[in-house]
Amino acid sequence: MTPKRPAGADAFPKIAVEPSVARQPEEGALYAALDLGTNSCRMLIARPKGSQFQVIDSFSKPVQLGQGLEASGRLSRSSMARTVHALQVCRRKLEQHRVRNMRLVATEACRRARNSRDLMRTIRRETGLPIEIIGAEEEARLAVISCAPLVSHKTETLMVVDIGGGSTELVWIDLEDVEPKERPRAIMRLSDGFGNPQPGGARVVDWISVPLGVATLRDQFADVEDDGGRFALMSWYFEEMLSGFTPYAQGSPDEGFQIIGTSGTVTTVAASFLGLRRYDRTKVDGLEMTSDQIDRVIHSYLQLGPEGRRADPRIGRERHALIMSGAAILQTLMRIWPTSKLSVADRGLREGLLYAQMVRDGVLASDGLNGVA
């Protein structure tokens, strides 16, 4: 499995942006974004509100679409059946809210599976939903723009990390030439693509899509019984995949460096750090953690062992089987690029899809995206 590299600056069409004046959306106009990933099917329905959006309805269901994919190269009948069932629920929600503006996408599992076209045909026949399989660069780009509100004015070098079920995207961005107060907006403008830097704008130094996420990395070492040994092997294997990423040999910049992490792994680690027995997005999204704090949480997971993690309410029943593969990825990144400031983002591909649609339609106000001082 070779990490995917950018093929060219014009890999994706430009999105027309109307930055000056936001149009008032028609009464009740809603937007939907659906992310069919390797492990889960998730959807948001929202309406524009100022420079942000207001979530009206949501859906999230573990479907384990990538179960067995690592060994067979195919999506199983049972995983496809679970996925179709979840999408039928999504279709009913879309009909209930009369949503007309939507983008519904599938990611790594469908990119890799030999029979993904069969799944797309089944979805179209059983649900009528227009699911599209997007490329790794677009997935990375959408995750990046979703995190724009968390970018600090003091950040000169930014790395956005999206740990998914089947892949992990890393994007390294140079913001040194951008006016501090404009840095969040500069990130949002990357909706145009990674390969067209503007004077005084954000510049993508490099990006990579590693075909290892929490589900696929776990499956690689499922036959290793020792908990600590399995964790060490997962960490080593993931690091091996980063050698072609330009910033790998450079380490962390001395000043002005920020990492934004978006994934269930990162939010679970944050919830554990805060001691939340019940997840609270308002306390997690935007939380800043140091490398040492993250390391201590991951060490506590290893001390708990498999049974202890299964019973830990901070981790949750749906996350306990995936948390150590995600933690291996996160700890590897923190070891290579130690930082005093990892910003936790409870946002990602779905939010990026919503932002991109709303920016395209000119329905977001341009003066409220202020970032973090």
- Look up the pTM and report it: 0.85
Residue found under tokens 């003066």: 367
Measured distance CA(143)–CA(348) in Å, rounded: 5
Reduced to 3 states (helix: H, G, I; strand: E, B; else coil), residue 104 is strand
Measured distance CA(188)–CA(202) in Å, rounded: 9
Q: Residue 49: which residues within 8 A CB-CB, separation 6 or more?
A: none
> Among candidates 350, 271, 312, which has minimal Cα distance to 105?
350
Give residue 371's pLDDT. 57
Count of CA atoms in the C-beta half-sphere (13 A) of 268: 26
Give residue 373's pLDDT. 53
Residue found under tokens 């040194």: 176
CATH number of the 138-349 domain: 3.30.420.150
Q: Do domains 31-135 and 138-349 have the same CATH topology?
A: yes
Mean pLDDT in each 10-residue stretch from start to end of the chain (373 residues)? Answer: 45 33 55 95 94 91 90 94 97 96 96 96 96 94 92 94 94 94 90 78 93 92 94 96 88 85 94 92 94 95 94 86 95 90 92 91 70 56
Reduced to 3 states (helix: H, G, I; strand: E, B; else coil), residue 192 is helix
Give residue 14's pLDDT. 33
CATH number of the 31-135 domain: 3.30.420.40
Which sequence spans correspond to the domains of the chain?
A: 31-135, 138-349
Measured distance CA(356)–CA(134) in Å, rounded: 14
